[in-house]
Amino acid sequence: MRLLILMRHGKSGWDDPTLEDHARPLALRGRLASALMGAWLRETGLAPEAARISDARRVRETWEGLARELPAPPAPEVMPELYHAAPQALLSAAQGLPDAAGRPLLLAHEPGLGAFLRLMLAQRPAGGAARALDSFPTAAVAALELEAPRWRDLRLGGARLAHFARPKDLV
């Protein structure tokens, strides 16, 4: 059984309207949420062992805040193609992981990340976990259980939602 972790970047800052979208930093709320989610990943035994992240500033800053809370953070693979990636690009990023990659994290953006999550699930989760399909809030984390024997065998519709957490669930 494989586990794939999906995370949306933390809340970005809009203080400087002259910045291009790609260059926007995290807001204070985003920095705090990134650290909180890193601690949650550590405490739940879901600390990523590999990471592929967008090259947007707010994503890199989210990773930095999260990584400070991990016992042995991996060096992230910064991938420009994950900036506002469509679901197919996220699937390709996951399929391209080395088979030895344990618990990898994809750290990216909406709306592609939420669409990818919905397409990956074999069935809609019950109860409160269903909210993961309605919205993928900033700094939220979803962990998917997968049956694929190798990353390259990963297919849409082949996952089960094992965990979903938002920063506001943890405070």
Alpha carbons 88 and 115: distance in angstroms, whole number? 10
Kind of pairing between the strands at 159-165 and 141-146: antiparallel
Alpha carbons 129 and 135: distance in angstroms, whole number? 11
Both structure tokens of 58: 């707010």
Q: pTM for the whole thing?
A: 0.95
State how many domains the chain has. 1
The domain in which residue 119 lies consists of 2-170
Both structure tokens of 102: 């344990």
Q: Per-residue DSSP letters for 29-57? A: HHHHHHHHHHHHHHHTT---SEEEE-SSH
CATH code of residue 92: 3.40.50.1240
Tens of pLDDT along 71-126? 999 999 999 999 999 999 999 999 999 999 989 999 999 999 999 999 999 777 66
Alpha carbons 138 and 98: distance in angstroms, whole number? 28
Find the mean pLDDT for residues 132-142.
Answer: 88
